[in-house]
Chain A
């Protein structure tokens, strides 16, 4: 049962983050939502590694990849926000709607 409960924890984190990413207007807050979603993925990967295949290292590699994804997401997110803000003092997605392609 621990296995399922821990996966529910991961799903809860993922969906809380999803709600934030969908509902927030500020770019920085959207990034926080995405961070929380990746946090859920990390928890799930650790759970899968521990309960299903602890003898293989691949589960741990998923965690490493998720952590890297987090770092990349944050660096690029802030770079884009900075560029956008510098160009037109905008930090909300609704004000940058003309970038929609």
Chain B
């Protein structure tokens, strides 16, 4: 790796850790959400610098969308979204600190002590092509499973989150036209 890449990795890494800590120390929910976004965008940057530009940029793209949607829910459900009245929303802080501290120490010990193998093989020229071939070839089953998981999530999340079903819209015999909607949609269903 060249000097530029090393500098980038160091900068992104420090920024990711700092904003990761800020997520649980700031008061304003909007700032919390966007520091989490900063941390995850830095993770995307690290991924891109390590030679996976496609996955890196996709992570950035996805995290921006996800965090902005998250900000909406965050502000909808928190009683103090702007952090104008700072208060503690923690429970069992000491226990949580101890558990995460022990896990971190164990992980670092493992990282430093494990006999890591040497690098095998060379990096392909086009890593985007590599992930595509992996997903559509030897890891096809993983891809199919992920697809089904996502489909199940879409159906499940919609079922959980909607209050009104088709009987509320269209009446008991499903024959009410136009449908009884609080807000009419754009295609006149």
Complex Cα gap A54–B92 (Å) = 42
A54: chain B residues at CB < 8 Å are 51, 119, 121-124
**Contact, CB under 8 Å: A46 / B160:** no
Contact A11 B95 (CB under 8 A): no
Closest residue of B by beta carbon distance from A36: B20
Query: Which B residues lie within 8 Å of A6 (CB)?
Result: 9, 13, 46
B101 at the interface (CB under 8 A from A): yes
Q: Is the interface of B mostly helix, strand, loop or mixed?
A: helix
Residues of chain A lying within 8 A (CB to CB) of residue B158 = 79
Complex contact B157–A76 (CB within 8 A): yes
Q: Tell me whether B82 is interfacial, beta carbon within 8 Å.
A: no
Instruction: List chain B residues, Cβ under 8 A from A57.
Output: 130-131, 133-135, 137-139
Q: A16 and B17: CB pair below 8 A? A: yes
Q: How far is the CA of A18 from the CA of B124 in the complex (A)?
A: 35
Contacts A35-B36, A55-B120, A76-B153 supplied; 9 other A-B pairs, CB < 8 Å = A14-B104, A23-B93, A28-B73, A28-B78, A36-B39, A43-B46, A56-B134, A72-B153, A74-B69
Q: Which residues of B contact A (CB under 8 A)?
A: 1, 6, 9, 13, 16-17, 20-21, 23-24, 32-33, 36, 39-40, 43, 46-47, 50-52, 55, 58-59, 62, 66, 69-70, 73-74, 77-78, 89-93, 95-97, 99-101, 103-104, 107-108, 111-112, 116-117, 119-124, 127, 130-131, 133-135, 137-139, 142, 146, 149-150, 153-154, 156-158, 160-161, 163
24 intermolecular pairs with C-beta atoms under 8 Å apart: A5-B13, A6-B13, A11-B107, A11-B111, A14-B103, A18-B103, A23-B24, A23-B92, A29-B32, A32-B23, A36-B23, A43-B46, A46-B50, A47-B50, A55-B121, A55-B123, A60-B55, A61-B135, A65-B142, A72-B150, A74-B66, A76-B156, A80-B160, A86-B163
